[in-house]
Structure 1
Amino acid sequence: MRNICFHPKMPSWASPSRTATTPPTPSSQPSGGSSSGHGLSVSEIDKIIQEASEMVEKWDPDATSYARVTSLFYENKREAAQFIKCVNSLHRAMKVLVVEDSSSPKLLVAHGLMVIAMKRLQKELYQILSMNRAYLDPESVSARSSGVSARSSTSDYSDEGLPEDGARAAGDSIVEVEEASAVAMADLRSIAECMIVSGYAKECVSIYHVIRKSIIDEGLFRLGVEKLNHSRVRKMEWEVLDLKIKSWLNAVKVSIRTLFTGERILCDHVFGSSEAIKETCFSAISREGAMLIFDFPELVAQNKRSSPEKMFRLLDLYIAISDHWPEIESIFAFDSTATVRSQAITSLIRLGESVRAMLADFEASLLKDSSTTMVPGGGVHPITVHSMHYLSLLTDYANILSDIFPDWPPPSKSPLPESYFNSPHPEDGQVSAISQRLAWLILILLCKLDVKAKRYKDIALTYLFLANNLRHVVSKVRESNLNGLLGGAWIARHEGKIKQFALNYVRLAWEPLLSALPEDPSAAITPAVARDHFSSFGASFEEAYRKHSSTIVSDPKLRDEIKFSISRKLVWPYQTFYDAHKMTVDAATIKLAPDDIGNYLSDLFFSSGNSNNSPMSSPSPSSHGQRSGWPN
């Protein structure tokens, strides 16, 4: 396409008029006969008219039934070439006669023959365009011009496991289509050049326009492109509009790479002799359909949709146009198709405006959030899930967002730490701006979570809520493009906060159980005191288990970390005390063995908060299959 469409633009010039005369190119005088002074002798003119008369009258579509129903270019290629040659010579002779003797009877005869010849060529042009639609469809033309050889096509089929005979047949079929396409394009060019030179450019373009515009219109119809207006789009249900957007995304790809590209190639080839006619013809054929294509994104962008998720469809539309912009600029490079380029740019501008507005709405919704909903068990809040899902999807469009937000700095007056706005990639200013803004949006979310955490009456649950939600945030950052945008330092800093929140939960919820044991678990004490400590610790553990039976720790890694931290705090002191005093008391007094602590904690956290039983009322999930010393 670049070789074909990106060429220096030649000066435009008007198509020749039927009555206009052009001075003949000086040439040497022919040998024999008196010269007319314009390169043709009288005898040569007579010979040209005589030969043209025989050829033209033979193929006069009104003279015989044979000529009326038979295609000259299909019947005899050699004679068709001779016909074109006779017409060109006749036109040259007519130009000489106009200069020499405009009242000459020969000029009237020649003009009559030219009228018949042009009528024949119009018929041939129409027949070739109509009968070769399969070989002149935009896909075939663009594929042929792309330089894909039949050999490589055959190899592709062979690679797919096609039998050798099948591969050969496929290759032969491709060669046949390419040859038929090449022949048809050559015939069209020879007819067009002959008609244009003879002053019949208008008739030639008219026939070409009718046939080829129908190809464009039919192609767009098959792609599902339809004429819409703002009112109709505004009234559509989102599900319907979403389907139309998906259809458009496919349509724009096919129409640009195949439909309009093929049509531009064909038009450039057929009317290669005239830049002005080429431009006029292609513009008339393609402009309406192209405007229909590129008007749709603007209609969608103007349609107000409250849900931020709709923004991703707008970004898809933006990418489709921006990715195809080099091809759009190349195909519609003519001045007369500037409106197509302008509409594509307008759609990009409107889409960008809508994206900026929708992202501002998302930020405003975060800032204004004042919901009092509390998540049972300190689990992940819906606002965390929704916001991080939205932001992680947004990073898939980071490159295009840098185009839409070329100067998207954080708020100039912010009470938040400046460290959140330090670019992880200072060498890339555009990406840095996006990174800073995303960090800002996440920080807004975290601030809102801090407020929500304070609504829990149990301070330990407050820290568990913060740990759960920050873990979800960091996990989404790790598994999405946010990782590259925010950087490892951001992740490490927030991982440290998660760890601290989890430790605070363990300290407030489980460390108080240690008060049921003596400061020195191995110190000598009386059996009665030991019995009181065993009883007190078991009751405290049961109470803590029951109290936290509704807690939720959905992240496996965080769950393991909390369980390990609790076990480390409780098991070693209790194990020491258990080993030192278990023989001094009645076995029935000991309701909890050291191994049971880990088993109950697994049951507590790995049951996702669904355990409502206490250690006193349900069997321990002990590896020994029974509780050590616990009453039935």
Structure 2
Amino acid sequence: MAENGEEKLLAMARHIAKTLGHNNNNNMADDILQIFSNFDGRFSKENLSDKVLDSDHRSCATLDHSLKSLDQRISHFVSSDHPVWADSAESAAFLDAVDDLVGVLSEWSSLASDKSVGACIARAEDMLQHAMFRLEDEFRWLMERGGESFDLNRPYSKSTENKMSFDSEEDDEEEVMNGEEEQQIPVALPLTDYDVVIDVLPSGTINDLHEIAKRMVAGGFGKECSHVYSSCRREFLEESLSRLGLQKLSVEEVHKKTWQELEDEIERWIKASNVALRILFPSERRLCDRVFFGFSSASDRSFMEVCRGSAIQLLNFADAVAIGSRSPERLFRILDVFETLRDLIPEFESLFSDQYSVLLRNEAITICKRLGEAIKGIFMELENSIRRDPAKVAVPGGGLHPITRYVMNYLLAACRSRISLEQVFEEYPKLDDRVASSTSSLSVQMDWIMELLESNLEAKSKIYKDTALSYVFLMNNGRYIVQKAKGSELGTLLGDDWIRKHTAKVRQYHVHYQRSSWNKVLGILKLDSSNGSMGANGFAKTIKEKIKLFNHQFDEICKIQCSWFVFDEQLREEIRISLEKKLLPAYGNFIVRFRSVAELGKLGDKYIRYGTEDIAAKINDLFQGSTGSNGSCK
């Protein structure tokens, strides 16, 4: 080997001298030979002169002989009609031959400008290309064979013994083609834990693939190797997502789906996204790193080509949801998509951080922000729907308005995702300068929606011709709002001061109701000192007129207000007790005065229609809706 190396060194020096001293410039050639001779005695004129150029021919002959030997060895494998890797001895011999060929090319490529050496190098490169083509076929065969031998029923969880499945809940019927069962691409089995890694290829196969990849990269065929690898693994990923029920949908197809269909699709997307980002993609990353160990660029490129299509499919669906309808009913499912993608961003950042796939990571972050903007847009649409809700038809009996129920239940449901909403509204502009700067943007948003709702209800209360009924309407809706807010996440966002303020508002509505409805009745029962100056006959006449007027107005109020409705039993009881405290003492005093008038004493039964217990019973029948306690308004 030492002699062969020295011979190559002399051949190199001789080649340089000949090249620099071309065009028959013998003097220049002699000068160059003299320089070499002074540098190293082995480069003497005698050793490098044309007289011994026959050694060049011997060197070329040596190279030619090596190539002929390699051609015989490699042709045996290239032309084989059975897989080389079916026999471990055969595969080892093939790899040795490829290594020797690559070594020859590496040693002699620097002399390629020499015509005879260049011709040999061209032969060697052609031989290498055929060897690479065969290695590519063997690589593909190993990938496919490894997949076929993959045991779907063995457990893969790192922390449990649970089996996995990526199958959708619906049982897939077996498909038969031409009387034979269609070949199935292996996918993993029932999933109960995301803490798993799938080794879909046997360890021995992975080692064989690595050895082939190492030769193909060394031979300049790294991209071809990556392409074969990614085409096989990409099919596995796509089939796995398909088994989860995820369809490949365009933006237009997503937007054409009914809301129920889209809800079902979102449910499948959430499951598929978690499986892909937490199990499938990490497993593919691990497999890439093992197959292309030592070649980070090839590993990164292969991983990107394997996962890009599936990742884009998942992201495109989320993007289609983000740019879709802003209907308030869609908030909760869009929140589900947002939360899923947000929670998977660390996985995107971990998996897609290299030069080939960083765009996927950036796209995931962009779409997550777009989903946040969609959520903000939905709240804006909710505000608009409250503003646009017309004040045309009054709710019978002053009861709860549908918009009150809708908005409060909507906000209560939304606030169950308070953490996510606070994240979305983190940069939301303040809507009220009076709100303290320490108040969260979500709190400001909720307060603003409540303000819009209250304004809308106040406008609706003006539809009622009866002022007292308008206050019953405001009492009902105000009480409902406060009761819903208390003890909930919504109430926490609005704050204790807000709760106290609106509780006081309901009490104020109660006061206004009593004044507008019962003050006239209470005024009738009032007997001031001026009544005594009328004389006995005048006083008797006045008090007689008062009892008649009271009976009429009391009957009229009870007849009307027994059809009114107070939904909250506690509020209804509070109103009744308050009325009894004011009305019963005044009525009792009035009756005592009435009976004390001598002229009217014998006529008491004629004019006194109600005792105090009867008054209390009538009050108890108020606000029952359309019927009283006995089934009718009395």
Q: TM-score, normalised by structure 1?
A: 0.68
User: For residue 563 of structure 1, what is the aligned residue in structure 2?
Assistant: 576
Q: 1:117 to 1:548 in 2, by over 3 A?
A: same
1:495 offset after TM fit, Å? Answer: 0.8
Evaluate the alpha carbon distance shift between residue 242 and residue 599 of structure 1 in structure 2; reply closer, same or farther with a 3 A threshold: same
Residue 213 of structure 1 and its aligned partner are, at CA, apart by 1.3
* Aligned with 2:86 (options 65, 71, 80): 71
* Partners of 2:563 and 2:633 within 8 A in 1: no
- Residues 85 and 230 from structure 1, CA distance in 2 versus in 1: closer, same or farther, beyond 3 angstroms? closer
Pairwise CA distance, 1:380: 1.6
What's the CA shift string for 1:433-474, capped at 9, x where partnerless?
221232122112212222222232222212111111111222
User: Would the aligned equivalents of 1:550 and 1:611 in 2 still touch at CA under 8 Å?
Assistant: yes
| Distance across 1 between alignment mates of 2:221 and 2:102 | 15
- Change over 3 Å in CA distance of 1:84–1:485 after alignment to 2: farther
2:143, 2:229 within 8 Å by CA — same for their partners in 1?
yes
Tell me which residue corresponds to 1:392. 412
Work out whether residues 237 and 310 of structure 2, in 8 Å CA contact, stay in contact via their aligned partners in 1: yes
Aligned partners of 2:379, 2:197: CA distance in 1, in Å? 54
Change (3 A) 1:129 1:479: farther
Shift of 1:491: 0.6
Rounded to whole Å, the distance in 1 between the matches of 2:205 and 2:608 is: 99
Q: Which amino acid aligns with 1:384?
A: T
CA contact (8 A) 2:472 2:510 kept: yes
Q: Residue 330 of structure 2 is aligned with which of 306, 310, 314? A: 310
- 1:319-468 matched pairs, under 5 angstroms: 319-411=339-431, 421-423=434-436, 426-427=437-438, 432-468=440-476
Work out which of the residue numbers 269, 274, 280 in structure 2 matches 1:248: 269
Structure 1 counterpart of 2:108: 98
Partner amino acid for 2:337?
A: L
**Aligned pairs (5 A) from 1:28-177:** 36=5, 60=77, 63=80, 68=83, 71-72=86-87, 86=96, 90=100, 93-94=103-104, 98=108, 121-133=135-147, 148-149=158-159, 152-153=160-161
1:40-60 per-position Cα deviation (integer Å, ceiling 9, x unaligned): xx9xx9xx99999999899x4
- Spell out, residue by residue over 1:266-298, the C-alpha distance to the aligned partner (whole angstroms, 9 max, x if none): 212221211221122122222233222212233
Within the candidate set 579, 593, 611, 2:627 is matched to 611
Residue pair 2:99, 2:215 contacting (<8 A) in 1 also: no
Structure 1 match to 2:320: 299
Change (3 A) 1:178 1:404: closer
Q: Please tell me whether residue 552 in structure 1 is matched to residue 565 in structure 2.
A: yes
| SS of 2:514 mapped into structure 1 | helix
Q: Which one-letter code corresponds to 2:483 in the other structure? A: S
Match of residue 14 from structure 1? none
Query: How has the CA–CA distance of structure 1 residues 556 and 132 changed in structure 2, closer, same or farther, with 3 Å as cutoff?
Result: farther
Structure of greater relative contact order (alpha carbons < 8 Å, 6+ residues apart): 1
Q: CA deviation at 1:514?
A: 4.4
Distance of aligned partners of 1:489 and 1:211 in 2 relative to their CA distance in 1, 3 Å threshold:
same
What 5-or-longer segments of structure 1 have no aligned partner? Answer: 1-28, 157-169, 413-417, 619-632
Q: Deviations over 1:157-179 (max 9, x none)?
A: xxxxxxxxxxxxx9xxx999869
Given the superposition, is the C-alpha separation of residues 84 and 38 from structure 1 closer, same or farther in structure 2, using an over 3 Å criterion?
farther
**Residues 225-267 of structure 1: CA deviation (Å, up to 9, x unaligned):** 4444444444444443444334333332222222323222221
Per-residue Cα deviation, 1:511-558 (whole angstroms, up to 9, x for no partner): 6554565769xxxx99x9999998876665543321111111112332
* Deviation (angstroms), 1:391: 3.3
2:484 maps to a residue whose letter is: K
Q: 1:183 to 1:569 in 2, by over 3 A?
A: farther
Cα distance change of structure 1 residues 138 and 207 upon mapping to structure 2, 3 Å threshold: farther
Q: What SS is found at the alignment partner of 1:567?
A: helix
Select the residue among 439, 461, 473 that pairs with 2:481.
Answer: 473
SS of 1:327's equivalent in the other structure is helix
Q: 1:415 is matched with which residue? A: none
Which residue does 1:208 correspond to in 2? 229
- When residues 298 and 540 of structure 1 are mapped into structure 2, their CA distance, relative to the original with a 3 A threshold, is same
Identity %: 28
Is the Cα contact below 8 Å between 2:472 and 2:509 reproduced in 1?
yes
Q: How has the CA–CA distance of structure 1 residues 539 and 177 changed in structure 2, closer, same or farther, with 3 Å as cutoff?
A: same
Cα 1:113–1:235, aligned 2, differ >3 Å: closer, same or farther? Answer: closer
1:38 & 1:563 partners in 2: Cα distance?
A: 119
8 A Cα contact 1:51 1:86, kept in partner: no
**Contact 1:137–1:262 (8 Å) recurs in 2:** no
Equivalent position SS for 1:273: coil
Preserved CA contact (<8 Å) 2:526 2:586: no
Give the Cα–Cα distance (whole angstroms) in 2 for the partners of residues 71 and 510 of structure 1. 101
CA shift, 1:348, in A, is 3.6
Deviation string for 1:388-440 (max 9, x for gaps)? 3333344344444444444433457xxxxx7xx424xx54xxx6222123212
**What residue is the counterpart of 2:297 in the other structure?**
276
Q: Deviations over 1:80-107 (max 9, x none)?
A: 8955874575357535763799889999
Name whichever of 177-186 and 332-341 sits farther off: 177-186
Count residues with an aligned counterpart: 531
C-alpha distance 382-110 of structure 1, shift in aligned 2 (>3 A): same
Q: Is residue 627–residue 633 contact of structure 2 (8 Å, CA) maintained in 1?
A: no
Q: Following the alignment from structure 1 to structure 2, what is the Cα–Cα distance between the partners of residues 517 and 38?
A: 135
The structure with more radius of gyration: 2
Letter in 1 for 2:571: L
Secondary structure in structure 2 of the residue aligned to 1:504: helix
Check the 8 A contact 1:401/1:434 in 2, yes or no.
Answer: yes
Structure 1 contact 332–338 (Cα < 8 Å) conserved: yes
Of the three residues 190, 193, 201, the one matched with 2:214 is 193
Q: Secondary structure at 2:512's aligned position in 1? A: helix
Whether the 8 Å contact between 1:467 and 1:502 is mirrored in structure 2 is yes
Contact 1:468 1:555 in 2 (8 A): yes
CA distance 1:615–1:99, shift in 2 (3 Å): closer
Q: CA deviation at 1:487?
A: 0.8
Shift in Å at residue 508 of structure 1? Answer: 3.6
Superposition TM-score, scaled by structure 2 size: 0.67
Query: In structure 1, how many angstroms separate the alpha carbons of the residues matched to 2:204 and 2:584?
Result: 89
Offset of residue 573 of structure 1 = 5.5
Write the distance in 2 (CA, Å) between the matches of 1:38 and 1:488.
95
Please give the residue correspondences for 1:209-224 in structure 2 after superposition, counting only pairs within 5 Å. Answer: 209-224=230-245
In 2, are the aligned partners of 1:463 and 1:502 still within 8 Å (CA)?
yes
Give the stretch that moved more between structures: 438-447 or 347-356.
347-356
